[in-house]
């Protein structure tokens, strides 16, 4: 993360066509013409701004949405603002609209407290997390765009058999890509579905997003390595995770105990079964 000036952080580029900036305790008045789509989340503070011919008030928890070619002008800051903005190149949003069967270029509301808010918050958080991998970010981006663009989440009964086959093809590719990872585009190509349809179908079929499914595969493989005495730091890298802390976080959430405790329990069970080795909870399914 690069700090360009006090209170302003430019987030590392993680997704093609997407950039992010965070301000903390900001009281400046900003104005300008949007050249990209934008999604801003306010975490604290409030301000008034002019947009689409009228004044709006931006408060905590509300999404501020922008479209290319539109003028935004801040009018008043009610309280110092902590916010994070992401901008998306027009082709990113236009392609999403076409895949969802919507007209391009799509129209966005000025503010949103419902559709897309949870997905936008999740993506904003992931953009600041050093360990977030490409598949996770792509999935979150696709989910946010689907929600903001108002995509229909229903699926026809006739499409179920084909959808199941597509989900199985994507699943097979995930199993073959545990260490190196795989992009959402590659999964979509393997499945024969668009990115948005794949995300919906995969979750309906397996109860997880492709990224969550991949994370479970990685933790499962890490368990095997830990049981063989491989240190947690090395195991994390060998299963394609960012570092030991990322393995620890996922391991505790999925297995119910830390990698170190799991390794000690497995070794204790195998060598001294009558001594009451530390119990290892079964993974959540």
Rg (CA), the chain: 22
Q: Which of 211, 266, 210, 259 is nearest to 235 (CA)?
A: 259
Span of 10-14, 148-152, 173-177 with lowest mean pLDDT: 148-152
Please write down the HEC assignment for all residues of 205-273: HHCCCHHHHHHHHHHHHHHHHHHCCCCHHHHHHHCCCCCHHHHHHHHHHHHCCCHHHHHHHHHHHHHCH
Instruction: Find the mean pLDDT for residues 52-63.
Output: 90
Task: Report pLDDT digits (tens) over 9-45.
Answer: 888 888 999 999 999 999 988 888 888 999 999 999 9
Q: Where are the alpha helices (DSSP H) in 57-194?
A: 90-99, 117-127, 134-148, 160-175, 184-191
pLDDT at 266: 80
Q: Is the pLDDT of residue 247 over 90?
A: yes
- Residue 177 pLDDT exceeds 60: yes
Task: Give the lowest-confidence range in 175-184, 215-224, 273-282.
Answer: 273-282
Bond into 105 cis (ω within 30):
yes
Confidence of residue 272 (pLDDT cuts 50, 70, 90): very low
Over range 66-82, report the average pLDDT. 92
Contact present, 233 and 259 (Cβ < 8 Å): no
pLDDT tens per residue across span 201-227: 999 889 889 999 999 999 999 999 999
Q: Where residue 121 falls among pLDDT bands split at 50, 70, 90?
A: very high
């Amino acid at each position: 993360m690069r700090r360009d000036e006090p209170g302003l952080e430019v987030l590392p580029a993680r997704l093609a066509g997407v950039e992010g900036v965070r301000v903390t305790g900001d009281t400046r008045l900003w104005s300008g013409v949007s050249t990209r789509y934008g999604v801003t989340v306010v975490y604290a503070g409030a301000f008034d701004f002019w947009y689409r011919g009228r004044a709006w008030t931006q408060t905590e928890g509300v999404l501020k949405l922008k479209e290319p070619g539109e003028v935004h002008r801040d009018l008043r800051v009610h309280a110092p603002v902590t916010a994070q903005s992401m901008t998306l190149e027009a082709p990113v949003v236009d392609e999403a609209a076409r895949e969802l069967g919507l007209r391009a270029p799509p129209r966005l509301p000025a503010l949103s407290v419902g559709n897309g808010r949870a997905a936008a918050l999740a993506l904003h958080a992931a953009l600041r997390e050093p360990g977030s991998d490409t598949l996770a970010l792509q999935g979150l981006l696709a989910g946010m765009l689907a929600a903001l663009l108002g995509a229909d989440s229903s699926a026809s009964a006739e499409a179920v058999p084909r959808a199941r086959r597509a989900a199985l093809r994507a699943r097979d590719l995930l199993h073959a890509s545990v260490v190196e990872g795989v992009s959402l585009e590659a999964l979509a190509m393997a499945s024969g579905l668009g990115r948005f349809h794949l995300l919906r179908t995969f979750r309906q079929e397996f109860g997880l997003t492709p990224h969550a499914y991949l994370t479970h595969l990685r933790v499962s493989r890490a368990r095997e390595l830990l049981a063989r005495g491989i240190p947690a730091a090395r195991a994390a890298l060998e299963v394609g995770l960012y570092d030991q802390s990322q393995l620890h976080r996922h391991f505790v959430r999925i297995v119910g105990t830390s990698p170190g405790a799991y390794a000690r329990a497995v070794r204790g069970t195998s060598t001294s079964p009558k001594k009451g080795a530390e119990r290892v909870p079964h993974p959540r399914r």
